[in-house]
Amino acid sequence: MKRSRFFLFALLLVLTLSACAAEFDGSRTGNDREFIMEYKVLNRADSQDLTARAGDTIHGELTVDSGALSVSVCKEGEASLYERAALSASETFDLPVEAGGTYTVTVAGERAAGGVRFEVVPGQGSN
């Protein structure tokens, strides 16, 4: 009897602990000019489409407090312009936009904590 109670308790404990793994705990905002996330937990992928004109710059700030973060930025229908996998350190970058269009930013975390910020910075002469 004690053995079956122990087994049942152990099974319930395993099921309870495995159900506690959150996919996302944080905040997210995005539109066609920016994408901002701050999180205590990121265990999923998320993406945002940004609209940029030729001469603009896509500015990215990646903050990795813990875990690993993967990021890609690609123009619709083309290969990635920026891609990093399993980042464990913070990073900042600027991507000059040569051809206007829609750029998709995708971030994926694995037990990640930190944040990301992407912004389309107008080039000179842009309104």
67 residue type, one letter: G
| Residue 8 or 23, more confident | 23
Q: Strand pairing partners for 42? A: 24, 112
Predicted confidence (pLDDT) at residue 97 exceeds the cutoff of 90: yes
* pLDDT value of position 38: 98
pTM above 0.95, yes or no: no
4 residue type, one letter: S
- Token pair, residue 19, equals 């159900």
Predicted confidence (pLDDT) at residue 21 exceeds the cutoff of 80: no
What is d(CA 82, CA 59) in angstroms, rounded to the nearest whole number? 11
Predicted confidence (pLDDT) at residue 13 exceeds the cutoff of 70: no
11, 61, 107 from 111: Cα distances, Å: 24, 19, 13
